[in-house]
Chains A and B, each alone.
Chain A
Amino acid sequence: MTVSSIKKNIVLGLLAVLPACSGGATSTDTQADPTGGFRATLPPSVADSDKLALQDTKIDYMLALRSAALKLTGNYPTLAEIKQLQNATDQTAVYSQLIDNYINRPTFNQQILQFWRDTFKMGGMLPVTTPTGTVNVNLEFAPTYAAYLIAKGESFSKLVTSPSGTCQTYNPATDTFAVAACPNTSAVGILTDQGVQAQFYSAMAFRRVRWFQEALLCSRMPAETNGPKVQYPGGVYNSPWDIKSISGAINDPKALVDFQDASSLICANCHSTMNHQAPLFANFGPTGMYVAGMIQVKTPIAGDPFSKMIDWLPAGEPLAYRFGQPTPTVKEFGDAMAADPAFKACMASRLWNWAMSRGDVVVDQAILTPDFSAQLTQQIDANNWNLKEFIRGVYKSAYFIRY
């Protein structure tokens, strides 16, 4: 038999398996009218399998164990684990024990670290070319710190607030975390991490604040849309900020970037928030290093000049996390983020989607309803921001074990 013929066989097999997966054909199925198209030729239990699947409330601990093992251990369950659960007289109890066992293994720490690498889009080293040579920036500290907080059961709000211990290393061979010296000494969680700042370096620090919004708050800009609607030729402005609170041609016809332009689109819907945040992160350079008193990002116009505060905001305008929440320092910015319900809901959504094999909450719009999100954040509250316990609860939840 040739390889191509084997492939044909497998294609046919796969075609057969897909409709058969849900609902389960029974001996009472009958042939439908063949004139009604392909679907109509299928037995009802196959043709309607997608509808039947939605009503299927069956608990399947064996499938749940496989899915849990994939996420929590990075492998399928072993045969011994499969048989232990399959032969258990109390599957609920044995499943629960196996989940606890998975979470207590070193492989869990490796898996949760990988989860944060993918969530943050950071890992390994980033070579950054500078006038004096190439600087290799560590992109591991931020995801490792997130993994550390979960592995140790510490409050996950430290991710954006902790003043120390934020540069962690992890040795999978010994399953040990260790604190390293942070290149940027005045730490505020991962917000000041050299790797974060280097990885998301861009003109006027906008990529950095966009990353904070998307990775840690789980929504795209615009972040604030609760202002009065004002009609402009280019659309509706609905940020709570006065449009004059950011730089642009309305305030100064010679502004380098016209964030107030509303002729064909409304820049200020996003930039009213971004411009009040970005200067907080402007002193970090291309290699992510902080330079006190010196803006390190550039304004994208001819000549590529270093940005000045007037490029973002009119004189006297406060730096702020949100409208009405001034945050003159990164520390206060981190505190505001930690207190934002959206941060908690974001972490709940990300971990839920991971467990349920769903896509990214931002990129794939795999979002949760407000009610369901509230249920999950209540569990985070109940566990006092201990996300390890939250994860344990997700994998044992009534939702997770149903297929």
Chain B
Amino acid sequence: MKSKSGFFVRLGLVTLLGLVGCQNQSEPDPNQVTNPPVDPVVPPTSPGGAMKSFDHDDILGNIGDVFSDGRQVLPADGQRMHVCGKITYDTLGRILTTRGIATGIASPPADSAARLYQTGANIMGVANYPARVAEADRNSTGGLTRLFDMFLAVADELLPSAAIDRLGSGTACPGTTLFDASNNCNADGFACLLGVPVSTVQLAECSASVKRIASLTSNDILRAKRMAVATIASSNFLCD
């Protein structure tokens, strides 16, 4: 790819993703209420528990009585986690499997989504119970990188050729495709992939981006569609 066309492709995706990221936020909400209950937050008022206790884990400085110190997670953190919690390893496998990517197959090909998934269990933070370690509740940098690589492979495998769209081969949305015959993004297909509906604006931008990317890549529609899928899926699944 020449650098000039690469710039425009990136520019297109930035625009595309900026709109995808604004999902559901530009449309009025008929259910909005003016005075909802507020998850209360009280700033720290106490330095913690007993002074100079023995620090068995090197983190004892922050101890205290959970229910008397009046501390809880910051509202910004709470909101971010609520919308962007880490997807557990098993759940990620089920999401992909029910959307046409068989993550559990034996001896998957090199660089396939299934291989990256199966060999990525530890980096994605699975539990090690004999060592008294639960599954990580946040993604590590390495885990996010693995997810990043996985969704590049996922895009290729969901769209293995110009004529095949495998999203609907799973049980989550039978028969549904990511793109229609005119290479426009399909609302049902992306809703199935992301777990939430996309807005009309997002959908239009998705379709326009595919065409823009294709025009910059010798009209390689398949590559353009794969890039759109990988980019949008990554922004969704790497949210944490």
Contact = CB atoms under 8 A, between A and B. Distances in A.
Contacts of B130: 124, 126-127, 139
Contacts of A300: none
A59 B33 contact: yes
Contacts of B194: 76
B52 A357 contact: no
A59 B32 contact: yes
A266 B60 CA distance: 13
Interface stretch (A15-23, A180-188, A291-299, A315-323): A15-23
Interface in B19-69: 19-22, 24-26, 29, 31-34, 36-37, 39-42, 49-54, 60, 62-69
A9 B52 contact: no
Please tell me the size bucket of the interface on A.
35 or more
A398 B54 contact: no
A155 B53 CA distance: 36
Interface stretch (B75-83, B101-109, B112-120): B75-83
B163 to A, nearest CB: 21
A369 B43 CA distance: 10
A6 B230 contact: yes
B31 A91 contact: yes
B13 to A, nearest CB: 4
Contacts of B82: 67, 356-357, 400, 403
A123 B81 contact: no
Given A82-B196, A398-B37, A199 B31 contact: no
**Candidate in A75, A77, A122 with the most chain B CB atoms within 10 angstroms:** A75
9 contacts: A7-B152, A12-B14, A59-B31, A62-B196, A82-B195, A199-B132, A357-B81, A367-B69, A370-B67
B173 interface: yes
Contacts of B32: 57-59
A175 interface: no
Nearest to B236: A17
Interface string B61-101: 01111111111110110110111111110110011001000
A398 B36 contact: yes
A139 B40 contact: no
A403 B9 contact: no
Nearest to A374: B67
A360 B137 contact: yes
A53 interface: yes
A393 interface: no
A273 B6 CA distance: 65
Given A5-B6, A67-B83, A373 B53 contact: no
Contacts of B84: 357
B169 interface: no
Contacts of B172: 75-76, 78-79
B interface majority secondary structure: loop
A69 B195 contact: yes
Given A1-B9, A74-B94, 5 more contacts: A18-B21, A59-B31, A114-B88, A267-B54, A372-B39
Across the A-B interface, the 4 shortest Cβ-Cβ residue pairs: A357-B85, A235-B52, A17-B21, A76-B195
B211 interface: no
A267 B224 CA distance: 64
A50 to B, nearest CB: 6
Contact of A236 (B52, B192, B238): B52
Contacts of A60: 24, 29
Nearest to A64: B82
B179 interface: no
Contacts of A119: 134
Contacts of A398: 36-37
A219 B66 contact: yes
Nearest to A366: B73
A265 interface: yes
Nearest to B189: A79
Contacts of A67: 82-83, 85
B129 to A, nearest CB: 4
Interface string A256-271: 0000000001110110
Contacts of B176: 79
Contacts of B86: 357
A65 B196 CA distance: 8
